[in-house]
Structure 1
């Protein structure tokens, strides 16, 4: 039977044998009695990790490997590439990923090419010339889109950070990407209460190498975090649908507001980026908010805002750009808070 992604998010990774618990429990064990499927947690995981990996892998269409954080997953991906590799990354993208690549470049490990997300010709050229492409679509924090399919199947390995889109809106492996990464800290977990990263690939060799990297580096997720992420995944379809409806409404109203100079909304998802006239206007706006929280991160049930250019790694982002993670509050309450702060 073929089930929709919404259904798979609810049922994948669930025990099915008679007498089993309906949901995979937290298994806080580091070692197991010899002779079974599990022996030592760092080596081959726990039943809790396995259930999460089965569920996310099923949604993305590949084999999933869970890591202690999103950055642990990103670091493991870049371990796949030998010294001297040339890698492209969007000029506007998650600052942690760019910092990792820049550190590797300074050490002489990689050559890093920072490309404009909107420069389609540059990305297509890079796909035929470089060793790897790191893609965010939408990009963080500017919400620009990069077309994945035309870049796949050429010289470069294509890796996609699918955190913003989630497998409900975009399945990069079906578009020819080699590997997908999620910060499950964000939308998959959905409640701002865990750190966890996940990689997914349909390539058996890559999957094995990623698991080997996790073992080598000890970048293992906790049992509680894995269980929380799996529980969060169960409600991802309904959370994301409601957040996206609210985001579309607020993006339209923000675009019509005289204090807002630009709105970036890709037409789906729960992230909005909008620009105010300058740093001072953006900071006054944030100070006046009463419901929406000024905090880093995104994808939780609560609405968060942040002026990304305040961070050194994002100093090139437009200074008045506000990254807005839309939560599950009443849309009219959110608009009242936004409008009051803008006024």
Structure 2
């Protein structure tokens, strides 16, 4: 793959364009091929289609450059998360969010109930609560900003505390992305992403990834992928890498839109509360400024209306899509508590809003039309 670059000297905007390219040679391809192979001649480094693929390698190299570690691609974000939990023995203690990504919390609740793991659910932004839960924990599983509450965890402090306590420290950095924070540089053992979201950015594939600098962890996670079978398709990996080429531009535009819309929503009398760390009024603003390189493109806001009106509001949009996902070029929102598995600490009137790259005034006009359609005054 691509050689000759000192990646640390290149900005993220350049890294996403240059990483994961084939080696330069006369008449060589600029882009990696889609390698549709399950079987390989003996004697090489791959061996079998469940062990590796040229298309995976290109995407893994590119994400490795962005995060500063070694990457393993998985068939979905949840597959990546499952591989991380496979590092823990039966009955191990894990500290995790009480109101984080519902896919993760649902899995952990089931594992806790089955006594496969002992899960200490905590309010991650409350640093003291996290520190009190750490003694004896084999893993500290973090996400920041949290999904969907958009709360910022004091990563430098809790990562250091987790490492001192002897825990494997994992950070789900899907909402932040490498444009905003790099968990490994902050001392985490593992950074994790749903590649489905911002990194690929077009709502057309399912992939996840695990990134680490710890060779032992890398080998164990690779074995979990190899023998668990949660491998990505080569076409999906190729599509994700093509999407990654524009990641920096997409994220920049989405962040700009999110900041502007958060400011407008904050002034709207029909909105009870806006959750966005870029706002000076946000309780996590100063914390975010202390170690993040931006504020992301996710807003959550609480509407002064009943559930039926809020559902009507979300369904009335013409430009914004009412759906479950985030991180695509298109703006997406939904009332999160419509899902039975969502944490009951999340308000019923909260709308999670993944801000896309559309013209910000068009998005604002759509939001205003939705308020009117739902008769929210």
SS at match of 1:273: strand
What is residue 30 of structure 1 aligned with on the other side? 38
1:275 counterpart = 2:285: no
Is the 2:102–2:343 Cα contact (8 Å) retained in structure 1?
no
Is the 2:250–2:357 Cα contact (8 Å) retained in structure 1?
yes
What is the alpha-carbon distance in structure 2 between the residues aligned to residue 191 and residue 320 of structure 1?
28
What is residue 310 of structure 1 aligned with on the other side? 338
- Comparing 10-19 with 21-30, greater Cα deviation is found at 10-19
What is residue 100 of structure 1 aligned with on the other side? 107
1:58 to 32, 57, 65: 65
Is the 2:127–2:158 Cα contact (8 Å) retained in structure 1?
no
What is residue 328 of structure 1 aligned with on the other side? 357
What is the alpha-carbon distance in structure 1 between the residues aligned to residue 191 and residue 352 of structure 2?
23
Q: How does 1:180-195 map to 2 (within 5 A)?
A: 180-195=191-206
What is the alpha-carbon distance in structure 2 between the residues aligned to residue 251 and residue 282 of structure 1?
18
Q: How does 1:172-211 map to 2 (within 5 A)?
A: 172-211=183-222
Is the 2:99–2:105 Cα contact (8 Å) retained in structure 1?
no
2:325 to 276, 297, 321: 297
Is the 1:148–1:176 Cα contact (8 Å) retained in structure 2?
no
1:223 to 207, 225, 234: 234
What is the alpha-carbon distance in structure 1 between the residues aligned to residue 343 and residue 32 of structure 2?
43
Is the 1:190–1:299 Cα contact (8 Å) retained in structure 2?
yes
What is residue 112 of structure 1 aligned with on the other side? 119
SS at match of 1:329: coil
Deviation at 1:34, TM superposition (A): 1.8
2:164 to 154, 160, 181: 154
Deviation at 1:315, TM superposition (A): 4.8
Is the 1:149–1:177 Cα contact (8 Å) retained in structure 2?
no
Q: Deviations over 1:109-160 (max 9, x none)?
A: 1111111133110112233442211111000001001011212322222100
Structure 2, unpaired ranges of 5+: 1-5, 279-294, 373-377
2:254 to 219, 243, 258: 243
SS at match of 2:73: strand
Is the 1:127–1:151 Cα contact (8 Å) retained in structure 2?
no
Structure 1, unpaired ranges of 5+: none
What is the alpha-carbon distance in structure 2 between the residues aligned to residue 235 and residue 166 of structure 1?
13
Deviation at 1:14, TM superposition (A): 0.6
SS at match of 2:50: helix
What is the alpha-carbon distance in structure 1 between the residues aligned to residue 72 and residue 123 of structure 2?
30
Is the 1:9–1:59 Cα contact (8 Å) retained in structure 2?
yes
What is the alpha-carbon distance in structure 1 between the residues aligned to residue 228 and residue 343 of structure 2?
31
Give TM-score scaled by structure 1 length. 0.97
- Comparing 277-286 with 224-233, greater Cα deviation is found at 277-286
1:233 counterpart = 2:244: yes
SS at match of 2:230: coil
Deviation at 1:281, TM superposition (A): 3.0
What is the alpha-carbon distance in structure 1 between the residues aligned to residue 148 and residue 362 of structure 2?
24
SS at match of 1:232: helix
Change (3 A) 1:209 1:315: closer
What is the alpha-carbon distance in structure 1 between the residues aligned to residue 46 and residue 118 of structure 2?
40
What is residue 285 of structure 2 aligned with on the other side? none
Is the 1:163–1:183 Cα contact (8 Å) retained in structure 2?
yes
What is the alpha-carbon distance in structure 1 between the residues aligned to residue 180 and residue 46 of structure 2?
34
Q: Deviations over 1:270-292 (max 9, x none)?
A: 11100012313311211321211
Q: What is the RMSD computed on CA atoms of the aligned residues?
A: 1.2
What is residue 94 of structure 2 aligned with on the other side? 87
What is residue 281 of structure 2 aligned with on the other side? none
